[in-house]
Amino acid sequence: MFILCSNAMIINNKFQKKRTLCSWKNPIEAPKKGELGKGSISWRQLKQLDFTHGMEMETLEAELIQYQTPKVSSYIFNFGFLAGMFYVIQMISGFELALHYVPDTALAYESVYIHIMREVPYGTYYRYIHTNGASFFFIIVYIHMAKGIYYQSFLTKRKAWATGMIIYFLLMGTAFLGYVLPWGQMSYWGATVITSFITSIPYLGSSIVEVVWGGFSIDNATLHRVFVLHMLLPIIMGAVIVLHLKYIHQAGSSAATIAVDTKIQGFFTKLAPYFYLKDLYGLSLVMVIFLYMVTHTPDAMGIPLNADPANPLSTPRHIVPEWYFLPFYAILRAVPSKGLGVIMMLSSIIIFFFIAELRYVSIVLWLIWNRGLLFMGPRTRARYCKLVQTPINLAHQYLSFIFYGNFLFLGWIGVKKPMFWMYILFGQVSTLLHFILIVCLATSSGFHSYAMHGYFLFKDIKFPTTRWERFWGNVKQFFIDMI
């Protein structure tokens, strides 16, 4: 009898767990098609519904197989998977290179260009896979970030966006350190110029530079520091990637925002095997291009001057970073002052991390632009919000493409040499436009969020009918539910 009861309990637990994998976490019932927003469900409550995956994150099967994914996910959503694959490629090829690299100023260049590329079996392929893999990694990450800006992921999935930006900062630091390790002519002078920016810090700048260099100039101690950090940062990046995936699975895919009125159970399907096959198909196409570049044009994305050994007595005429740093390099050159240029360059990178917080600028603008909403009834406000949310979303999409074009234009300005007055002027205008567009993107996202919130919040609920009661009720709901 005890065995039968135990078996019954086990079967019941398995059945309950299976139901949990496909059920809604929130006690509010899942809306049916065409009924989204009906009743007294606010937009705040609607966002708390677990309609994106609907499963408890308890088992590996729930995360890798049964995870519910929107069916409308196009190939633009493959780039997160591609970035993870290139992270693995970089880790494997970098480990192989680290076994043969010598972090010494007298031997570093020979260990790369002579020992690894000529004496180590398949060493040339390992190095070219690593160098071209870094470029492909940045291409994929930039496209992945562009998708996040387009679908307003920085507003709807803040934790995932924050961890993604931390990964991006770590990737930039790792790429710069790896750029120094071959100890070519551009590596040495690039490290000299970039580390000298620390001297812009008042009072403490010179002392900090000496600590970073390990002396009064770039030497063996500096190269050892660079090598150790280049091996350490990818490990930290891997830990942040795990957090990034965790927050993405909690918040759901951005594809769910494509069709709001189809947020029903049938709109999703399990992750395996459909999306794995789609990801592998996209990976195969990218790998064909990647392997072609590795075997036929391995130096196409590099700098030819870096093939010469480092010479501290000969300064290159033009010190240029790798192509993925060119937009920020153009911002640095657009400002005549060294200290202000460094601040602008760092701000242009860090502002991506705080882009979600810039939405608070839109609160004041929304209240000024739509001050009449505070005196409207709930039905009128819902109709107005539904009317304006589509144009606002369309404006955000146009602003996104303008931002992409301006970012590419900054990269084009960064590669131009020597700097004529025309390029300097274009760079200054494009730098100003870079910051303005980021604020506009955050503002348009906030407007769209408030319009969506107002539509679902006020569609069917009732407020007191007097003018001032409606005013204070709307103000209270605005600051409680949106801020």
Residues with active-site annotation = 249, 253, 278-279, 322
The secondary element (H helix, E strand) that includes residue 91 is helix 79-98
- In sequence order, which residues have a C-beta less than 8 Å from that of residue 445 and are 6 or more positions away? 152, 154, 155, 359, 362, 396
Q: Phi/psi of residue 184, each to 5°? A: -85, -175
Give 66: exposed, middle or buried? Use CB within 10 Å, 0-12, 13-18, 19+. Answer: middle
The Cα 301–Cα 303 span in angstroms is 7
In 3D space, the residue among 71, 480, 452, 33 whose CA is nearest the CA of residue 271 turns out to be: 71
Q: Return the amino acid letter for 157.
A: K
- φ/ψ bin of 101: left (φ > 0), alpha (ψ from -120 to 50), beta (otherwise): beta
Q: Return the amino acid letter for 437.
A: L
3-state secondary structure at position 472? helix
The Cα 148–Cα 240 span in angstroms is 18
3-state secondary structure at position 31? coil
Q: What is the DSSP string of 400-456?
A: HHHHHHHHHHHHHHHH--S--HHHHHHHHHHHHHHHHHHHHHHHHHHHHHHHHHHHH
- Could you tell me if 389 and 448 are in contact, meaning their C-beta atoms sit under 8 angstroms apart? yes
Q: Return the amino acid letter for 234.
A: P
| Cα 453 from chain centre | 25
Place of tokens 């519910």: 68
